[in-house]
Amino acid sequence: MKLYVKAISTYRSDRESLDIKKELKRKYKLDTRRQDSFIHLSVFGAQRLKESAEIKKDDELFLTSGVGNIDVIARTNLAVIEKGEFIKPFDFINMLGNTTSYYVATSLGVQGKNIFDISDSFPVLNSLILIYSSLFHSKKEALFGSIDLISESEELIRRVMGIAMDMPVVSSVNYQKLSLQNSDALAELEFSAHSYSKEELLEIVNRNTERTIYKSMRCKEFPFQANDKFFATDASYFINYAISNKEDILYIDFFEGRYKILKVSNL
């Protein structure tokens, strides 16, 4: 399967020091009331994409995350389960995945298909497969956002994601404008639904010596380059990194003994 990238946007909290809520109000003149930090981060990445992408009214919107808006779930658990209180109305609304999608779509002015897909296993690659299938039938284009927000309690997100307590974590949002057509594209993404064993992966690596190899921080068996901080959707970051640096890469993701790969080729 192949998709073509028409535009990108990236934000990482360890690379830029920004008050996202204030930036949405100051630069993009957006109303941030009734929204929380996860929604702010999602909308912010979308607005950055809008600066370089042609956004069409019928574009499809896909969002993914490793754990989603975990802070609102934690607040709700504390209020309802532990304290026996009523859930706050806006916490209930913001806990729904399609609430984030609604705010992102509204900020971009898009009215096409709108899907929020959380997965702790290969969230970016699984979403790319979903996007490919959708565009194959609709013949439209897609906006794809990958969002991970550091929890108010870092211990919580480490426990949920099953990562070591000493592993650094970071908030990140990455977007791509995607199409099945390669006209005016920045890069080509190649991927499949197949997962690989260690032996199969080594064969693929040996056939791709012309590419720089990158890996997820979960992929500890191989000495390839990885991010220095963890976020579940770093495959999306590496797409943007490869395009920004005009570098053809092979990215390796890992979950529970299986590997998946993503190739990024600049055009």
Domain match, 62 and 157 both: yes
Into how many domains does the chain fold?
Answer: 2
| CB of 187 closer than 8 Å to CB of 5 | yes
Domain match, 111 and 20 both: yes
How confident is the model over 59-92, as pLDDT tens digits?
999 999 887 666 666 555 554 555 565 566 555 5
How confident is the model over 206-240, as pLDDT tens digits?
999 899 999 998 888 888 888 888 888 999 999 99
Domain match, 90 and 149 both: yes
Among the ranges given (145-149, 155-159, 202-206, 209-213), the one the predictor scored with the smallest mean pLDDT = 155-159
Domain match, 77 and 175 both: yes
pLDDT at 218: 84
pLDDT at 150: 81
C-alpha angle 210-211-214 in degrees, rounded to nearest 5: 150
Name the residue type at position 187: A
Express as a percent the part of the chain with pLDDT over 70. Answer: 83
Q: pTM here?
A: 0.89
Domain match, 145 and 230 both: no
Domain match, 153 and 199 both: no
Domain boundaries, position 202: 188-266
Domain match, 103 and 140 both: yes
Calpha distance 80→35 (Å, rounded)? 20
Residue 135 pLDDT greater than 80, yes or no: yes
